[in-house]
Amino acid sequence: MINKGMTGAEIAEVIELPPAVVNTWSTHGYYGSVSHNVKAIYQRYMGWFDGNPARLWAHPPQALAERHVAAIGGLDRTVELAQEAYDSGDFRWAATLLDYAVFTDADHAAARSLYADTLEQLGYGSENGTWRNFFLSGATELREGNFGTPLSANSPTIMAQLSPEQMFDAIAITVDGPRAWDFDLALDITFTDLDRSFHVTLRNGVLVYLEREPEDAAALHLRLTKPRLLGMLAGDTSTDGVEVDGDIGVLESLLGVLDPGDPDFDIVVP
């Protein structure tokens, strides 16, 4: 279907699985769905761009929503059309219209209320759990506000299981690039409990690491256990239990540009 010019969304609407698969209860979409996974397969092979030049440089969601709402005739008209779609059972179109509405005015009471009802209906009609949870989470956020992230992926128990490579990768994706653009930092880190050493650099806002023996020319060489480094990343920046050879300011500069992000961002309002 890709070779016929169809996009991921188009393929997801029409693809058919063999009857032997469809009629077997264990292959039903209780966790994922064919529609969801088809789009993921398309994106893996084709990327986000589907070849239509109108979608090559579209406006971002909020700017696009404001333009759609203006073209439709304003917020009240958009909600009116969404109500008509809802009443006719076209919850997908209602959700699209109401997405435009709340991205234009996140506090529009009628849009929020109808959007929550719409997402609830979509949730009730979802066989697979992930879609149902997304729909119902959106409805909850619209009615009650942001409810945060119930689980933490950086708990001490999980972090303790990371390899040094995974730990450095986790650090690298929290670097605030613009704040670190002018940095040219290098340090060696030896994990005394693992007998492994890494050379870490931060240049052009990008953290890179390489496993190798420490060099005398390094501005800073730290000798510590992996749990101790995890403790420093968690906020304990004292040098207790750490052998420091060189300028500790190098580490302080690195830690100073780490941004943990916001795990509790909204999902249905801008």
- What CATH number does residue 251 fall under? 3.30.1050.10
Q: pLDDT value at position 57?
A: 97
Token duo for residue 179: 């704040």
In 3D, which of 175, 231, 233 has the Cα closest to residue 204?
175
How many residues would you count in the chain? 270
Last-in-domain residue among 144, 175, 206: 144
Instruction: Report d(CA 26, CA 32) in Å as an integer.
Output: 12
Residue range 247-256, pLDDT digits in tens: 999 999 999 9
* Within a domain: 268: no
| Angle, alpha carbons 268-158-202 (nearest 5°) | 80
Same domain, 28 and 110: yes
Same domain, 206 and 117: no
* Within a domain: 239: yes
* Contact yes or no for 242/228 (Cβ under 8 A): yes
What domain count does the chain have? Answer: 2
* Helix axes of 91-104 and 109-124: crossing angle, nearest 10 degrees: 150
Same domain, 10 and 139: yes
* Contact yes or no for 215/224 (Cβ under 8 A): no
User: Could you identify the residue written with the tokens 């909020």?
Assistant: 62
The confidence band for 225, taking pLDDT boundaries of 50, 70 and 90, is very high
Residue range 1-45, pLDDT digits in tens: 999 999 999 999 999 999 999 899 888 888 889 999 999 999 999
Token duo for residue 95: 């959700």
Same domain, 137 and 13: yes
pLDDT surpasses 90 at 133? yes
Q: Which domain holds residue 228?
A: 156-256
* Contact yes or no for 78/100 (Cβ under 8 A): yes
Instruction: Report d(CA 132, CA 123) in Å as an integer.
Output: 4
* Helix axes of 75-87 and 109-124: crossing angle, nearest 10 degrees: 30
Instruction: Report d(CA 171, CA 108) in Å as an integer.
Output: 39
The confidence band for 149, taking pLDDT boundaries of 50, 70 and 90, is confident
Q: pLDDT value at position 217?
A: 75
Same domain, 8 and 46: yes
Same domain, 13 and 136: yes
What are the beta bridge partners of residue 224? Answer: 191
